Structure 1
Amino acid sequence: MKYLDRRNFIKKTTLSAAGLAAASILPISGHAQSSRETNAIYMGGFAAPKLETVKVAVIGVGARGPAHLKFAAALPGTEIVAICDLYEDLATKWASVVTEMGNGQRHQNIATYFGDENAWKLMLKEVNPDMVFIVTNWANHAPMAIEVMNSGAHAFVEVPLAISIEELWKIVDTSEKTRKHCMMMENVNYGRDELLFLNMCRQGVIGELLHSEAAYIHDLRTQMNEVERGTGSWRTYHYAKRNGNLYPTHGLGPVAQYMNLGRTEDTFKSLVSYSTPARGRALYAKENFPQDHKWNQLDFKGGDMNTSIIKTSLGRTIMVQWDETSPRPYSRLNLIQGTKGILAGFPTRVALEGGIEGITDSHHQWVQGEQLASLYEKYDHPLYKRLSSTTSESGHGGMDGMMVFRIIECLRNGLPLDQNVYEGCFWSAVSPLSERSVSSEGAPQAFPDFTRGNWKETDPLGIIT
């Protein structure tokens, strides 16, 4: 045996221990524990004053905006007052469509703004809407939401809510100061199976909740064909420059609500994250664009698949995956494991300890397909039963319309929203935290507490009827 120098041994092991301790959970810079501003209020269960008629404006009518616009216009108690888009043809087209929907009685004289990247600011000053749909590129979400709230309107923002921790804190501070809603529009929370699972979790069907799995796995390489205009024209640069989970909320939002995270019993604590090598985007560019095309000049740094693990304050775990590049079927995973059983998606499956009466006799067999009929009959969410026929044609199986319906219903009746500003911040924070973890070889990252400890006072999302 080689001689081991005791002094060197002590020196090396001490340094290693210190390094491990330092890397155990890396704190996030910023005012994570700062006090709430004077006259600001906690927005966890906030209900804004009732609005008999909700004056609606929209920023962005490209890919997603028209669906929100049309469904809101069809609801009673709404008035579409303004549409803003960078492109004149889109703004004028959708103003015309909505005006015709009003049949000469509603949505008349819709103001249109276009042609300038700051036209939306003029819109806010001149129109004074009650609420604004923000359906633009990711980098604009936070600045627009903050300006909308400061102008006196509620902000409803496409996912993600923001792309940095600093922006998320600014959104929280602005919402609390202005007492205006800022809701990230996570439409997947209104899917039939997501509502079904929420109802089953609330009724204790699978016991104590321990673990969940969430994902957004969706091959979107063809968006790169939108070179000068459209989603791919700006989203491709995110894939090239950022390495982490860039789109976590479709999978995470529902399972976080199953687990009541950020509400009463538990909250987000830390995250670790790893990415695979980046291959698919560069290969797609090489195979589909000329060698001198701008996509072939990019150095794609974002791994094709990112896997992150979240640990909660109670020690529960959530696996969150993201892959918009690989050739594979769509999935959000949507899995929740409890002490008495498991609910899983894609395809929808259920297994309960001891089996399900009349179908299986143990948890070693999935109940799926036509076998699920009795479970849908017993546990379908009351909200789905009430609204499914009204919203079924609204997009994504009806979840888009159900979300917009609930937004308008809450504003008109002075009710708390189904998703508060802090949930949007927690779910969106996965992106910058995952990027930081990936860049530091998987070192754990601490979640900021956007509620400043008030999550313990926030009731779980109820089963809305």
Structure 2
Amino acid sequence: MEVSVNIPDFSRRSLLRGAGAAGAGLSVGALGAGEAAAASPAAATSAEAPPRKGRTMVDTPFERHRTVRVGLVGLGQRGGSMIDLYLALEGVRVVALCDPVREKAERAAKKVTDAGQPAPALYTSGEEDYAALCARGDVDFVYVATPWDFHFEMARTALREGKHVGVECPLALRVDELWELVDLSERQRRHCMQLENCAYGRNEMRVLRMAHEGLFGDLLHGAGAYLHDLRELMFDPDYYEGPWRRRWHTKLRGDLYPNHGFGPIAGYFDVNRGDRAVRISTFGSPALGLAAYREENMPPGHESWKESYIESDMSISLVQTAQGRLIRLEHDVSNPHPYDRLNVLAGTKGVFEDYPPRIYLEPEMSGDEWGDFDKYADRDHWLWKEHADPPGGHGGMDYVMLFRLMQCMRLGLVPDFDVYDAATWSSPVPLSHASIKAHGAPQEIPDFTRGEWRKKRDGLDSEQPDDPQG
């Protein structure tokens, strides 16, 4: 079934010519009215898998690395903090840094030398200097923490240069781009991964273990979300250092950030490991929140007054799997709301709901009272038993995610997630937009595994290595 997904493709070169470095890493300027009007639509996409051009990456291990040599692209809000965690990991060396704002690269380089490592190479000479970093012979893994519009090009460049690559959410914004990264990963025999940190949250990993132990019975439905009031940050030039994230609300109507909700639920349901996400239907509310915030807080003449917001304040998607299970995804960053990822899992024997965490399981519980989730701490994933008080932000999940990824690279293990998971978790970005435009009509989610999803295999619910140090 052909699905026309008309998603604007911002001119990357015109974006990069704009104001200073974006908060997520690279320079991003404002699109003028003429540029926005000239943005070209995405190519038509198909749910049918194109012929495979390489070999499957399913169950493909990393080659062993005594030391994992990392190059970081983007040193803003995210990259500038994640470098601290790379430097805290054993057997990891930061060898190269890239950001067009040299001061940011130098600040990050000082962290490297302060940690006792050799001074890294710096790439700060223009908007495409990341390509030179990717071409280095002494880089094993490229980490991309830049504005979303550059994720695809940077991941593609890293793969073409024979590097493993990890990308912050989302992997790419178009279905054809997702397919290209799948094909490149298979041809180059290099992993391309969505760095979905929320899948490594303590609660998420405990629920994962409990689900796979059968405590919830046969699994029926789950829910995940990104409900996060970002209004102040999206209008703050010192946080994102440019309007790049706010400007996406002038271009897309659907779920701009599905990964944090989708990734954990996909783990519970063994998506791509015995089940598959088949189709998605999305409905969206009016787009009122950002305009209302602008009315109350932005002075006359502010650049945002030229913007027309179309992104649904709340988008609600229903994803159905091959086994008939349901996944509900919600996205709202434009209205007052305490931070919430929902994180709901229900089966024939009980249900878990997060924010706050609470559980109800039969036969241990009865009546109308929720149970105490803390009583199930003995079922924590081994990663959280080994790292009970991890450093870093987001409750330690960033560190746990990077520790496990670097461990897999050092020991030559199959990673917990792969390019097929990355493509699946990011596919709601374009497909939810298409569904809303079609009044909620279902959109087929491609089988990025090309049939390999039927094979049961390990994922986030991994076993602890016998020799974790190799």
Q: Distance in 2 between matches of 1:94 and 1:190?
A: 25
Q: Select which of 54, 66, 89 maps to 2:68.
A: 54
Higher helix proportion: 1
1:293 deviation in Å? 1.6
Deviation, 1:203, is 0.6
2:366 corresponds to which residue? 362
Structure 2: any 5+ residue segments left out of the alignment? 4-43, 465-470
Partner residue in 1 for 2:340: 331
Residue deviations 1:324-357, cap 9 Å, x none? 0110111100000000000110110100123x2x
User: Residue 328 of structure 2 aligns with which residue?
Assistant: 319
CA positional deviation for 1:453: 0.7
| Residue of 212, 227, 230 corresponding to 1:202 | 212
2:90 corresponding residue in structure 1: 76
State whether residues 2 and 47 of structure 2, in contact with CA within 8 Å, keep that contact through their aligned partners in structure 1: no
Correspondence list, 1:337-348, <5 A: 337-348=346-357
State the secondary structure of the residue aligned to 2:430.
helix
In 2, Cα distance between the equivalents of 1:215 and 1:373?
23
Tell me how far apart the structure 1 counterparts of residues 452 and 428 of structure 2 sit (CA, whole Å). 20
- CA distance in 2: counterparts of 1:457 and 1:194, whole angstroms: 23
Secondary structure of 2:135's aligned partner: helix
Q: Which amino acid aligns with 1:365?
A: E
Q: Does the 8 Å CA contact 2:204/2:264 hold for their aligned counterparts?
A: yes
Listed as ranges, the matches of 1:274-353 within 5 Å are 274-353=283-362
SS in 2 for 1:326: coil
Report the Cα offset of residue 396 of structure 1: 0.6
C-alpha separation in 2, matches of 1:114 and 1:288: 35
1:435 counterpart (414, 433, 436): 433
TM-score, scaled to structure 2: 0.87
CA contact under 8 A between 2:226 and 2:341: conserved in structure 1? yes
State the Cα distance separating 1:262 from its structure 2 match.
1.1
User: Relative to structure 2, which stretch is displaced further, 132-141 or 453-462?
Assistant: 453-462
Matched length = 423
CA shift at 1:270, angstroms? 0.5
The answer for the alignment partner of 2:29 in structure 1 is none
Q: Deviations over 1:353-387 (max 9, x none)?
A: 23x2xxxx4053211xxx333211x3122221012
Look up the match of 1:45.
Answer: 59
Q: CA deviation at 1:319?
A: 0.7
What amino acid sits opposite 2:329 in the alignment?
V
Does structure 2 conserve the Cα–Cα contact (< 8 Å) formed by 1:270 and 1:447?
Answer: yes
How far does residue 66 in structure 1 lie from its aligned partner after superposition? 2.4
Question: Contact 1:343–1:350 at 8 Å: present in 2 too?
Answer: yes
Q: What CA distance in whole angstroms lies between the structure 2 residues aligned with 1:430 and 1:126?
A: 34
CA contact (8 A) 1:128 1:152 kept: no
Q: Report SS of the residue matched to 2:387.
A: helix
Taking a change above 3 Å as real, the CA distance of residues 47 and 335 of structure 1, as seen in their structure-2 partners, is same
Aligned CA RMSD, in angstroms, stands at: 1.8
8 Å contact from structure 1 (residues 156, 185) kept in 2: yes
Alignment match of 2:147 (pick from 128, 137, 145): 137
**Rounded Cα–Cα distance in structure 1 between residues aligned with 2:322 and 2:240:** 40
Residue 13 of structure 1 corresponds to none
Structure 1 counterpart of 2:375: 374
Following superposition, the deviation at residue 252 of structure 1 comes to 1.1
Matches within 5 A, 1:367-446: 367=371, 371-376=372-377, 378-389=378-389, 391=390, 393-446=391-444
Pairing 1:230–2:240 present: yes
TM-score w.r.t. structure 1 length? Answer: 0.88
